[in-house]
Amino acid sequence: MELKQLRAFLAVAEELHFGRAAARLNMLPTALGRQVRLLEEELGTALLRRTTRQVATTPAGDALATEARAILEHAAAAARLVRGMAAHPAGLLRIGAIDSAAAGLLPGLLARFQAAHPGIATRLTEAKTSEILPQLRARRLDLGFVRPPLRPEPGLAFRWLLQEYPVVALPRRHPLAGRRRLRLEDLAPLPLILPPRRTRPHSHDGVMRLFAALGLSPHVAQEAEEKQTIVNLVAAGIGIALLPEWAARMRVPGVVFRPVALPKAAAPLEWGLGVAWDPDSPCAERAAFLALLDPGP
């Protein structure tokens, strides 16, 4: 039996129509019929009952349809496995990371990983969550440090790592800059610098949901995409900004960072951080890195 014969037979068995089955496989009905006949001749039994009005499977055809489906699925899985191994360079781990992970979490992890696995090189790509996820599916990246998906991502596995909390960036001479901690109620009337939703949906929605949870509507005065740009706009007195806590490490003259009083349970999903990967793509290097993330005994 050949795989092309099994595909032809299974298409007819599922469609119960030679024309529809041929269209599904993008082949001529005569060629499809020939593959089915060759299979029946090899097996020495009829698999289909054909009349001018309908097609039906025989008991032997029913039995073969179940086996053919399993064989074809197994063959497809084997092909994906081999293609994945061919596409992945040995000894290289390709990591995508959003800015929060690249600046806050990954430097220490990469140092530990390289010390434990000096023979594995790492390649880091900094990008947005919306850019990293398609690269994981296309197998151009092996791991992606991203914001938690708001709904399950087909074909990807995800592991939650940590919850971040916001800090507010203020001009150093702002009247609120002298406080040790600020409330969202204090911030809502102030001009806010916010990432645009069309390009930074997680960052935009994370800020808006913080205010919405308290029934507040912030005053958005300016949009800017990159966090460094946002902080520089704060320094220029354009407004304030709510940023992930790692941003407090940025040293920009004229800007101070203060924590925001917020119940931990109120932190939106958009402020979380996790790691995603394609579980069907074989990668020993990725397995070694994920083992590093597992808590010890």
In CATH, what number is assigned to the domain containing residue 52? 1.10.10.10
Which of 255, 272, 137 is closest to 205 using CA atoms? 272
| Predicted local distance difference test score (pLDDT) of residue 87 | 55
Q: How many domains does the chain have?
A: 3
194 with 183, same domain: the answer is: yes
> Does residue 108 have a pLDDT over 80?
yes
156 with 182, same domain: the answer is: no
| Predicted local distance difference test score (pLDDT) of residue 182 | 94
159 with 230, same domain: the answer is: no
Residue after which a domain boundary falls, among 87, 106, 121: 87
What is the extent of the structural domain holding 210? 166-266
Q: How many CA atoms lie within 13 A of 12 on its CB side?
A: 32
- Mean pLDDT over residues 223-245, rounded? 93
CATH number of the structural domain spanning residue 283: 3.40.190.10
Residue after which a domain boundary falls, among 69, 87, 105: 87
170 with 261, same domain: the answer is: yes
99 with 82, same domain: the answer is: no
Instruction: Round to the nearest angstrom and report the end-to-end CA distance of the chain.
Output: 51
59 with 143, same domain: the answer is: no
274 CB contacts (<8 Å, ≥6 apart)? Answer: 145, 146, 147, 148, 158, 159, 160, 161
115 with 172, same domain: the answer is: no
Alpha-carbon radius of gyration of the chain = 28
What are 292's two structure tokens?
Answer: 């590093």
Length of the chain: 297
Decide: pTM greater than 0.75.
no
**DSSP characters for 13-52?**
HHHS-HHHHHHHHTS-HHHHHHHHHHHHHHHTS--EEE-S
Measured torsion, CA atoms of residues 221, 225, 231, 233, in degrees rounded to the nearest 10: -40
Q: Which stretch of 77-91, 97-111, 165-179, 277-291 has the lowest confidence by average pLDDT?
A: 77-91
Pairwise pLDDT comparison (90 vs 37), residue with the higher score:
37
| Predicted local distance difference test score (pLDDT) of residue 223 | 95
Asked whether the beta carbons of 225 and 164 are under 8 A apart, the reply is: no
- What CA–CA distance (Å, rounded) separates 200 from 74? 40
Read off the pLDDT band of 146 (50, 70, 90): very high
196 with 117, same domain: the answer is: no
136 with 262, same domain: the answer is: no
107 with 62, same domain: the answer is: no
- What CA–CA distance (Å, rounded) separates 14 from 18? 10
Read off the pLDDT band of 233 (50, 70, 90): very high
> Does residue 84 have a pLDDT over 70?
no
41 with 186, same domain: the answer is: no
| Predicted local distance difference test score (pLDDT) of residue 297 | 45
What is the rounded average pLDDT for all residues in the chain?
Answer: 88
How many CB atoms lie under 10 A from the CB of residue 223?
A: 17
What are 209's two structure tokens?
Answer: 């949901």
- What CA–CA distance (Å, rounded) separates 213 from 210? 5
What is the greatest pairwise CA distance in the chain? 90
- What CA–CA distance (Å, rounded) separates 247 from 97? 15
Which of 212, 217, 249 is closest to 231 using CA atoms? 249
Instruction: Name residue 131's amino acid.
Output: E
41 with 170, same domain: the answer is: no
What are 279's two structure tokens?
Answer: 């579980």
Residue after which a domain boundary falls, among 87, 103, 128: 87
Q: Is 186 exposed, middle or buried (0-12, 13-18, 19+ CB in 10 A)?
A: middle
**Residue 169 bridge partners (DSSP):** 241, 257
